[in-house]
Chain A
Amino acid sequence: MEGPLKVTGRAEYTDDIQRPGMLVGRLLRSPWPHARLKSIDTSAARALPGVFAVLTGEKYPTPFGVLPITHDETAIAVDKARYIGDIIAAVAASDERTAEQAIALLRVEAEPLPDYSDPRTGVTPVAEPIHARGLLGSNIQKEVVQHFGNVDAAFARAAHSVRVRGNFAGVTHAFTEPLATIAEATPDGRLTVWSATQVPHYLHRALSEVLGLPMHRIRVIKPEVGGGFGGKSDPLPHEIVCAALSLETGRPVKILLDREDVFYTNHGRHPTQNDVRIAVDETGQILGYDIDALLDGGAWSSFGTVTTYYNGVLAMGPYRVPNFRYRGRRVYTTKPPSGAMRAHGGTNIRYSVEVALDMLAEKTGLDPFDLRSRNALPPNSKTVNEFRITSTSFLKCLAVAREKSGWDAKFGQLPYGHGVGLGCGFYISGSNSPIHFTPKMPQSTVHLKVDMDGGIAVHSMQADIGQGSNTLLAAIVAEVLGVDLDRVHVQRVDSDVSPIDLGSYSSRVTFMMGNAARAAAEELRGKLVAAAAALLGRNPELLEVAHERIQERGHPEVGVTFLEALHRAMETSGALTASGSYNSPSMGGSFKGARAGTAPAYSFAAYVAEVVVDDDTGEYRVPKVWAAFDCGRPLNRLAVEGQIEGSIHMGLGQVMGESMNYRGSRLFNPSLLEYKIPMPQQMPEVEILLVGDDDPEGPFGAKEAGEGPLIATLPAVGNALYDALGVRFTDLPITPDKVLKGIDQRRSEGRPWKGR
């Protein structure tokens, strides 16, 4: 719907907004990975003409964080800086140059502390824990231990077992729109904040908590957002700092982050080390998983508690796993914080599991497809850790991917350096559990208003970040009411007017907002049908909605137009309103952490990737991916295709070369040139194969398609490289030097592959 605005440059993003008298906010970032801040002399900065405020941490020391159970961040560092890039002071000035000069005039006295760049050193007590809440004097932020069934017994009776130790570099979202916030405190005691955010409601809460203002005095507006992928799904410190600067100065303040600062803000996928053992019986049936995961959390918690669960529990599908043991630990390090990134917690573990299954296929002599289908979770089942599986077309995904890719003629049969690989996955369609439990409220609410002009205004705090949720919201309302799409106008997200929807993360929007929208539209439809019935002198049960019309079923000539029904309905009440909301049903076990990974539905995927390797240089390309995906009923096919293609591009990036590169605690490649995102020439041809039965609870049968499509990409490529070269790659990214090393290693072990 916003397409015409976007292609003409008329869509309004946060940095496009100007407010009269707006000041420029700039941040001083710590050059130390870990340091006790002894003093900050702001006098010279304050004295500089054109400087209106200088802020340090003690002014707003209340901790915050996206998860209520881990409020360990402050807007500005209070006692310590915890990574190179941590915000330690802020200024507001009349223009950018003055603000930068003021930053340069700040004098910081700090006592360097030991820095902890390797999570492995953080699992035992350390001299200077990064956070006091670290477990038993260590830097462990979260430890999860789970055991279902009896894993040791399962491995004891196994016919075959394999072990994969995976090492995954951190990757980051690299959305094109940098982080940006404008805050404006006004003399009426209100504070308005515009921000590039995926989660206006969580931002709203955090602003209130840290600034000590009641929520109703704060107004959060979400302009057009240029991509998020999880990098804008926390309330972020610069957003709160911006608001604080406005409160200090009484003037609007804008903070626009440099691209380098966006890298330092990070909240990307956790660098991960996992250790995955899988056991099967002689028929290839999975007997058990034994998983250990170590997550590099960086300086703050962010979504990390959830990530720690996900890196184990999201191995629980799409296969039946009767015995499961998991230990996950997330460790603070003095590096840019890790957080949630597309297919949060489900990507790295999936890679290792799918490589392990491929190894088991080889050991058992089963085709990789046959091994998967033998173990597929059936519909309407429960996993051993009590995930409720409803709709699944995973078997269909497998069948279609196998057929369309020509797998049987290719697997193991292509020339050396040329291979195909299978990778599978599943993902949550919205986290069943909200983040905040008080006050109790639905996970999504949609309001409709329609007045005599016949335009339907839709209000919801759902956050379109480019994935097309605005369009879907309008389409669902239009579908239920039988009206033209251009009658429906989704209003800008504004906390003064928009009823709460929790935001764009965990792939919840289509499912939850969609259901709320449907409910609201049905309520409105009821009012219109009642009015039509009164006008026609008919029983409302006999009437149905048609295109811009309400008419008698079987007698279409007996009817009224949408406007006629509307005007009749409005006679005594004026403009009509309707409300709909959604809350996911109660589910999950009653053990600690049971809710992590529960969802009202799951998406499923089976991808085949084809790779071609140049074994002189180690470079490889992925000419084609066959992507079989189950998102239930795709409501907007073009949007779903866009998500699948974009996800494959992002997943490919993580396989081929994206990597947050550190020397110790210092990030060495905070630029889009040195952070290697695939070029258009590297994008494979993608054959999208949508197979899905209607989900029983999804709106019109739909499930998510925003994150799941990424997951299967990585193991499909990794496994294809094995088919091509006979080398198992367990570490990501798989760069040309690793390819060459892998080939050399294989040859030195005297193992030819496809004759080479």
Chain B
Amino acid sequence: MSSPDLLRFRLNGQPAEVACESPRVLLDLLREDLNLTGTKRGCDLGTCGCCAVLVDGRPTLSCLTLARLVEGHDVTTIEGVTPPNGLSPVQRAFVERGATQCGFCTPGFIVTATALLRDVPHPSREEIERAISGNLCRCTGSRKIVEAIEAAARGVP
């Protein structure tokens, strides 16, 4: 067994240092080593988007990302897009518009939508659909998810 290296990166705005063996996958590191269970494991194959996090602000499938590759980079999880005392506009919009049912895919969508609205403050419906097309929602058919993101973009809950 190789001795683990120390992985240094920024996690949710804070410096992080985690022992990390070479082939460790970012999703496993987050959920198991750091107990950040907000990011979900849906397929381990990159086919559902439940594991989406932001790496340098870009939506990234953490189940397909080697943890070592985030050395020196910024990682943001669902825990990091949640304000300390309440909900972000995107989160609030999801709650108010029924865009979350079972909730399992929701963290992946929130993270993706947060990044989208940062980059494109007033996205068209097509841009929204494209941005979330890597996230599977089996409960909502994604209609209310799109509406929630549109509402958050308009600054209306």
Task: Enumerate chain A interface residues (CB-CB to B < 8 A).
Answer: 2-13, 15-16, 18, 173-178, 224-227, 229, 256, 258-259, 465-468, 638-639, 641-642, 645-646, 648-650, 671-673, 677-681, 683, 686
Contacts and interface: CB of A to CB of B under 8 A. Distances in A.
A101 to B, nearest CB: 13
Contacts of A16: 37
A7 B47 CA distance: 21
Contact of B102 (A225, A638, A671, A683): A225
A259 B47 CA distance: 10
Nearest to B131: A680
Given A3-B100, A672-B47, A677 B143 contact: no
A259 B139 contact: no
10 contacts: A7-B110, A8-B38, A9-B106, A15-B40, A176-B42, A177-B42, A178-B41, A259-B45, A466-B101, A646-B141
Contact of B79 (A9, A642, A683): A9
A686 B141 CA distance: 11
A466 B133 contact: no
Given A9-B77, A645-B143, A645-B144, A229 B138 contact: yes
Given A227-B139, A642-B98, A677-B138, A8 B104 contact: no
Contacts of A465: 102
B39 interface: yes
Interface in B10-42: 35, 37-42
Contacts of B103: 2-3, 5-7, 11, 224, 226, 466
A13 B82 CA distance: 19
Contact of A7 (B50, B106, B132, B138): B106
Top 5 A-B pairs, shortest CB-CB distance: A9-B38, A466-B102, A226-B104, A649-B141, A6-B103
A337 B79 CA distance: 39
Interface in B96-154: 97-98, 100-107, 110, 126, 129-130, 132-133, 136-146
A259 B101 contact: no
Contact of B143 (A227, A258, A686): A686
Contacts of A176: 40, 42, 48, 50, 102, 104-105, 136-138
Contacts of B110: 7, 9
Contacts of A18: 35
Q: Which of B94, B126, B137 has the most CB of A within 10 A?
A: B137
Contacts of A686: 143
B74 interface: no
Contacts, number: 161
A7 B100 CA distance: 7
Contacts of B102: 6, 175-177, 224-227, 465-467
Nearest to B91: A7
Contacts of A256: 41
B6 interface: no
Contacts of A229: 138
A642 B98 CA distance: 7
A641 B101 CA distance: 11
Contacts of A225: 102
A671 B95 contact: no
A314 to B, nearest CB: 23
A9 B39 contact: yes
A672 B142 CA distance: 16
B69 interface: no
A177 B41 CA distance: 8
Given A2-B103, A9-B77, A176-B50, A649 B142 contact: yes
Contacts of A642: 98, 101, 139-140, 144
A8 B38 CA distance: 7
A649 B145 CA distance: 13
A7 B39 CA distance: 11
B43 interface: yes
A679 B143 CA distance: 11
Contacts of B67: none
Contacts of B77: 9
A683 B45 CA distance: 24
